[in-house]
Copies of this chain bind each other. A is one copy, B any other.
Amino acid sequence: MRLYGYYRSTAAWRVRIALNLKGVRVEQRARHLRRGEQRTPDYMRLNPQGLVPTLEFDDGTALTQSLAICEWLDETHPAPPLLPDDALARAKIRAFALTVACDVHPVQNLKVLARLRSLNLPEDEVTAWARWAIQDGLKACAALLARASGPFCFGPAPTLADICLTPQLFNARRFGVDFAGLERLLEAEAACAALAAFADAAPERQPDAE
């Protein structure tokens, strides 16, 4: 299997964590997002959105969308689980993951910020936009954990929620988010950082890191 990604893409980063947790080795192929390598015709045949990540099988089958890839991994490589067995607990964890993956990340990704710049928005307002999207979402994420025990987002082991949280906190720091009230999220991040599966997935450890 080949994983098309970019060292700093938080969506590709999620899949790297999930693959590491499952012990699945893949060949990494970088697509440099700032050079537009994700928009070439060849790549867009694999991923019609022109985004990373894409997981390509040896027979040419391509899976897109980080959460769909993580769920596929969890269904085909059940141990260790990314989601528990109980349906209600699964729904809570998925809601946390989707809060990041739907309502935070896409509103502050490279593509949206580039569109804002194309509207002649000054750079400080572009940064403020990203900070707004992340701050608002992470505040909700912290509230979603109000009744969940630590040290990870939902208990004693990492789940799909932690897989989404760690990369998003990296972006939060890039854009100067205020972490007051987000201590529970930082606690989960610290628990994750102690695991090789998370540490090895970090941007600076990727072959295409700059």
Contact = CB atoms under 8 A, between A and B. Distances in A.
A99 B137 contact: no
Contacts of A99: 49, 64-65
Interface stretch (A89-97, A151-159, A183-191): A89-97
Contacts of A17: none
A63 to B, nearest CB: 5
Interface residues of A, number: 43
Interface string A77-111: 00000000001101110110011011101110000
Contacts of A95: 63-65, 68
Contact of A72 (B90, B143, B144): B90
Contacts of A101: 98, 102
B65 A102 contact: yes
B102 A139 contact: no
A3 interface: no
Contacts of A112: 107
A76 interface: yes
Interface of A: 44, 48-51, 61, 63-65, 67-69, 71-72, 75-76, 87-88, 90-92, 94-95, 98-99, 101-103, 105-107, 112, 115, 119, 121, 125, 129, 132, 137, 139-140, 143-144
23 contacts: A48-B139, A48-B143, A48-B144, A49-B99, A49-B103, A63-B92, A64-B95, A64-B99, A65-B99, A67-B102, A68-B91, A68-B95, A71-B91, A72-B88, A72-B90, A72-B91, A72-B94, A75-B87, A75-B90, A76-B87, A101-B102, A106-B106, A107-B112
